[in-house]
Structure 1
């Protein structure tokens, strides 16, 4: 009977699918250790709408062959007498595991032999390490999930027709002049909303083709300008707030639409959307973009910047990771310099460029 080293998790746990971003993903589990496999090995439960399925690597396929005897006849070959008395000369390289009265022989060799094997137990061997897995078959390659977009009408409605004040803008008005704040909020299409929380801020992710990829909702303290993190982190997405369950979020850098307005300006990249807005007021000679999270400083989001001079300003504690990413991208023609300005300060981890200028 065939044994399985890897199987899909049989618990009710679900994770975010790497393909459609829905919480419908089931990981493969190593049945010997109980640990999840890495590298997105698993299957999305949205079989028709997504269909993502990545099975663990199989390696060399081999069948268990019982024998009467197995003896060496040279440094490179063995003589095998199977249960039917049939004698076979087998290269040692094709015998992947020996037992007392049986051995595993590669399918490649068995196909050219007279040994009966098709109903026997199967193993897969990977680079010298045994992997016994189920032959999970993907019926079809999943089609790329098309990103969803918010309409310009929705943005116009929230910005002009049903304008709501937000706490972050009120904080900015206490720090900068009214004209500076008005210009910055217009450039970044900053809007307020009462979705999720009263006077929250909407950060619209508009790409370089003027498509609205998403809209992140966050709540700030009007007096300090800090995010509200207690009793929980106040972050949500507009497509969830307006109940669009089939919205396929495919993020871009916050402020990306601005890169087309001036091809002479260098690009500056920070993590926080708030910091990008503040720095656009303090240092307007750059076009300021934000990743939205420390993990979003990656190829998928940075692709549109390949031909531009870029300067990245990671939060305290993230310099090494961002710098390594930039080094890899620069090998492929990107021009990204990562500043260690904040890393050299006495700030706690998480402090950023806006803190440096405003404190």
Structure 2
């Protein structure tokens, strides 16, 4: 038995009920009938239907073809969307080296200078090189520059570069209410700004790519490349990871880069922890313990071996410390200053020496001082400068001896 049009969900709009013909997508004549949804009475699309000029035009676009093409289009769009998600923006190594050259002496790096006063130059230098910390000239304060943290993933590719401004005297990040000089790359000059802008993600600027996908990874993630033989420890800030690596090198220290940071509780990011197959200890900042416990539970549910170090339960933690939101790095600095004061060094900046050439100095000192002349001499005849002024044209009159200067100015 043949199926009739009436049993289908989508049918040609029936005659009557004020039906109007529409312009045909093929011939343009107002002889086009839409396919409509029987339940709603609405057309599928303005090109899905049949031209009634069957012999002269013959255009016919049935619903089955519409849905077949629609499914194909959706599949293509879904595939393109999936590919877009899989593509990760990478900052090219050569561009990073050009803006943050390794040759720049760390003596100009504010964070480096402070940490040296606590731990000594050799320890800090070794850790800066281990994590590939660079110097950022974007920020300047007290003749010192900021720090550039490279977010280098486990495949050793750079996902992002994070520039931060620090105070070389306190080691603290410069925040709102403090002043810092900010470099204008167009004029190559520094402008005094409020410290509210003291963190900058440079990937888009470095790659000159407005579509740069800011997909972060753990700071220090490149240390997980290859076989991992140490337990893993995770803190929030990059500076804290560096301090902990100096003081407790038996762990591989990673940083999330902020409270939510690199979205480290998503499978895409924590997979590197899973692959490392090592126990993981979380070290939240004060007042962030409950939030990190919730994050730890997500990792536990994913099958990771996770524990948390509750800093708030430790002795010696004051209410003032909690109000400041201190972290494990702050206490390690305090401990090191009290128990290893001999490690701290003061960086002596290399300054250019003044040359002393006695023979040349003697020759220059023998020269008589040159007197400023009060008279202008022309052909050996002394002339008073005031007389010279009298010979020059009077700007207000616009003429010299009856000559119109405006006429002269028009002559090329």
Please indicate the TM-score interval, normalised by the length of the shorter structure: 0.5 to 0.7
Give 3-state SS (helix, strand or coil) of 1:295's partner: coil
The residue that corresponds to 2:39 in the other structure is 117
Of 344-353 and 176-185, more deviation after overlay is shown by 344-353
Indicate if the aligned counterparts of 1:163 and 1:191 stay in contact, CA closer than 8 A.
Answer: no
Cα distance in structure 2, aligned partners of 1:161 and 1:358: 28
Task: Choose 304-313 or 216-225, whichever is displaced more.
Answer: 304-313
The alignment's TM-score, normalised by the length of structure 1, stands at 0.59
Matched, 1:160 2:126: no
Alpha-carbon contact 2:155-2:225 (below 8 Å) kept: no
1:166-185 aligned within 5 A: 166-185=109-128
Cα distance between partner residues in 1 of 2:114 and 2:227: 28
SS in 2 for 1:209: coil
Q: Alpha-carbon deviation of 1:336?
A: 1.3
Structure 1: distance between partners of 2:105 and 2:328: 29
Name the one with the larger helix percent: 2
Q: CA RMSD in A?
A: 2.6
Q: Secondary structure at the match of 1:194?
A: strand
CA distance, structure 1, for counterparts of residue 224 and residue 294 of structure 2: 24
In structure 1, the residue matched to 2:251 is 286
2:241 maps to which residue? 276
Could you say which residue in structure 2 is the equivalent of 1:298? 265
CA contact (8 A) 1:171 1:224 kept: yes
Corresponding residue for residue 323 of structure 1: 293
Is 1:356 aligned to residue 331 of structure 2? yes
Q: Which protein is richer in strand relative to its size?
A: 1
Q: Which residue of 2 aligns with 1:264?
A: 229
Once residues 148 and 256 of structure 1 are traced to their aligned partners in structure 2, the CA distance between those partners, rounded to angstroms, is 17
Tell me the CA shift for residue 294 of structure 1.
1.1
Q: Deviations over 1:118-164 (max 9, x none)?
A: 138xxxxxxxxxxxxxxxx9963324341111122234442424556
Distance of aligned partners of 1:343 and 1:202 in 2 relative to their CA distance in 1, 3 Å threshold: farther
Aligned in 2, Cα 1:179/1:285: closer, same or farther, shift over 3 Å? same
Give the distance between the partners of 2:118 and 2:135, measured in 1 at CA. 18
Residue in 1 aligned with 2:11? none
Task: Report the alpha carbon displacement of residue 205 of structure 1 after superposing the two structures with TM.
Answer: 0.4
1:294 and 1:214 map into 2 onto residues whose CA distance is 17
Choose which of 204, 208, 212 in structure 1 pairs with 2:158.
212
Distance 1:235 1:196, change over 3 A: same
Gap regions ≥5 residues in structure 1: 1-110, 121-136
In 2, the alpha carbon distance for the partners of 1:117 and 1:280 equals: 68
Q: Which runs of 5+ in 2 are unaligned?
A: 1-36, 43-70, 177-193, 335-412
Match of 2:279 among 301, 306, 309: 309
Structure number with larger C-alpha Rg: 2
> 1:241-294, CA deviations, whole angstroms, 9 ceiling, x for partnerless residues?
434323222100000111236622111100000000011001111111000011
TM-score when normalising by structure 2: 0.52
Q: Secondary structure at the match of 1:251?
A: coil
Q: Is 2:126 aligned against 1:190?
A: no
The counterpart of 2:203, out of the listed 222, 239, 257, is: 239
The residue aligned with 1:149 is 90
CA 1:233 to 1:342, structure 2 compared with 1: closer, same or farther past 3 Å?
farther
Aligned length: 230
Q: Is the 8 A contact 1:214 1:239 kept in 2?
A: yes
